[in-house]
Amino acid sequence: MTSSLPTRRSLLLGALGGAAALLLTACGSSGSATGASSADGSQITPSMQAQSGPYQGDSLGRTFDKPAVTLTDTSGKPFDLVAGTRGKAMLLYFGYTHCPDVCPTTMGDIAVAVSKLPKDQQSKVDVVFVTTDPARDTPSEIRTWLNAFNPNFIGLTGDIDTIIAAAKSVGVYVAAPVKGQEPVHGAQTLGFLPADGKAHVLYTSGTTTAVFEHDLPLLIKGVTP
C-alpha cells in the first residue's frame, strides 16, 4: 500500500499541477472515505488545510464526540463506552472477526505499535474493537480473536442498529450484514484524545504500523492536531 501511494500521488500532482500540490500533501494517505458520513450528513474527510500538523494520521478538521453507547464487552457485561474509556487516549475501529484481510491487518498494525510503547504508556491508551457482525461474533469469539493481537484490547458487541448509529455518529459507515454478502467493516480508525474524549485524528485502511507508532504517544499526551 505505502509503496503505491507516491506513484498515485505524483500522478495526481502531475495532472493537477503545482497549485494543488500543498493541498494533496496535506490530504495525507489514501483519501478513500467512500460511503462514510457523519451524523449531520457531512462527508468525513481529512482536513483540507494546507498544513501537516504533528500527526501522521489525517486531522479530521473537526471533532467527533465519543459515541454515548452502552454495549456488551467480551465478558458479557455492559460497557459504557464514554465512562469505560474516560481519561485515556482511544483508538476506535469497527470490524468483524471473520474478515481475512483488512480487519486483522488493521488490528495487527495497531497491536505492533502499542507493543512498542513503554509499559506505562500502554496503559494510557484503550484500543476498542466494535463488531459489525454481532450475530456471528459472540463475546467469547471476539475475545479469542483480540487475544491474538493484545489481550488488553477492548471488544464490544451489541444490537446492530446501536452499532450502526454509534459508527455513524463518528462518521464511520457500517451496514447490517446481508445474508450471502460479506459484512462491512469501518474504512477508518479514529483517534480520541484523553482530555476531551473527542476524535481528532483519522486513520484510513492501510495505515502502517509506523504511523500508529508515531501518533500513539501524541494521542496519549493529548496533543491537538
Partner 1 sequence: MRRRASALALAAALPLVLAGCGSSGGHGSADAATGGARLSVTGAYIPLPSMPDMAAGYFVLHNDGDRAATLTGVTSPDARSVSMHQSTASTMVDLPNVQVPAHGTVTFARDGRHLMLMGLHPAPKLGARIELNLRFEGAAPVTVQATVQPLTYQPGQ
Q: For residue 179, which phi and psi values (nearest 5 degrees)?
A: -55, 135
* 1 contacts partner 1 (rule: CB under 8 A): yes
* 93 contacts partner 1 (rule: CB under 8 A): no
> DSSP 3-state assignment of 203?
strand
159 vs 182, beta carbon nearer partner 1: 182
Per CB under 8 A, the segment of 14-22, 64-72, 109-117, 217-225 that binds partner 1 is 109-117
Q: For residue 136, which phi and psi values (nearest 5 degrees)?
A: -100, -40
Give the separation between CA 67 and CA 64, rounded to whole angstroms. 8
99 assigned ligand-binding residue: yes
Per CB under 8 A, the segment of 10-18, 45-53, 60-68, 108-116 that binds partner 1 is 108-116
Grid cell, residue 83, equals 465512562
Identified binder of partner 1 from the candidate list 20, 50, 78, 98, rule CB under 8 A: 98
Give the pairing of strands 89-95 and 125-131. Answer: parallel
27 assigned ligand-binding residue: no
Sheet of 70-73, strand order: 58-65, 198-204, 188-192, 89-95, 125-131, 154-157, 70-73, 78-80
* 7 contacts partner 1 (rule: CB under 8 A): no
Identified binder of partner 1 from the candidate list 74, 131, 189, 205, rule CB under 8 A: 205
Give the contacts of 70 (CB within 8 A, at least 6 positions apart).
Answer: 78, 79, 80, 81, 158
| One character per residue 155-194, x = contact with partner 1 (rule: CB under 8 A) | ------------------x--------xxxxxx-------
Q: Which residues are annotated as a binding site?
A: 99, 103
Binding site for partner 1 (CB under 8 A): 1, 32-35, 97-102, 104-105, 108-109, 111-112, 141, 144-145, 148-149, 173, 182-187, 204-206, 209
